[in-house]
Amino acid sequence: MYQETSMAAEFIEKLEKEIKTLEYELHNELPKEIQTARELGDLKENAEYAAAKERQDLVRSKLGLLQKRLADLSMIDFTKIARDAIGLGSTVKVFDVNNGVEIKYRLVTSEESDVPNGKISTTSPIGRGMMGKKVGDIAEIKTPNGEKEFEILELKTIHDQPGS
């Protein structure tokens, strides 16, 4: 089982809340919408019915993905994430050698990724290229926009974050 850190707990709570919302929609709201649409008559030409059934399929699919993600997260042992190298939950300040600017990133799960706000996924090219690096290392990364070089200037791991 995993040791909950504030980041992990926050993300798990967010996933659980989204799962509850989708379950409520799937088991309460959508059946009512489908029943109301059925009462409108011919199902072959009933746009409301088709839309409600399509939404039901979409919600089921998303719910399945989120439940799998939650199960996968429960298998992560956060105590095994390095304390001195970049990993999930790390906040890093890097020097972009190509552009001559400093950038701050936080490495997060793919669901939390928000590039404009500095949150990059550990599965993105830059995220993968930084994994395991330490302060002073140079990360040479192949991106869709070409080769990039980042010098690692500062590092706070998930263990250094407040509440961890």
DSSP 159: G
Same domain, 91 and 26: no
Same domain, 68 and 93: no
Please say whether the beta carbons of 85 and 137 come within 8 A: no
The residue among 78, 106, 124 that closes a domain is 78
Same domain, 116 and 58: no
The residue among 36, 51, 78 that closes a domain is 78
Same domain, 67 and 92: no
CATH of the domain at 103: 3.10.50.30
What's this model's pTM, rounded to 2 decimal places? 0.63
Specify if 1 maps to a domain: no
**Reported confidence tier of residue 108, pLDDT bands at 50, 70, 90:** confident
Same domain, 91 and 38: no
The residue among 54, 78, 102 that closes a domain is 78
Same domain, 139 and 113: yes
CATH of the domain at 63: 1.10.287
DSSP 4: P
- In this predicted structure, the answer to whether residue 2 has a pLDDT above a threshold of 60 is no
- pLDDT given for residue 70 in this prediction: 83
- pLDDT given for residue 105 in this prediction: 95
Mark residue 94 as left, alpha or beta (left: phi above 0; alpha: psi -120 to 50; beta: remaining): beta
Percent of the chain residues past pLDDT 70, beyond the cut: 92
CB atoms within 10 A of CB 93: 16
Q: How far apart are CA 100 and CA 23, in angstroms?
A: 48
The three-state (H, E, C) secondary structure of 75-142, written as one string: CCCHHHCCCCCCCCCCEEEEEECCCCEEEEEEEECHHHCEHHHCEEECCCHHHHHHCCCCCCCEEEEE
Which structural domain range is residue 137 located in?
Answer: 82-160
Specify if 109 maps to a domain: yes
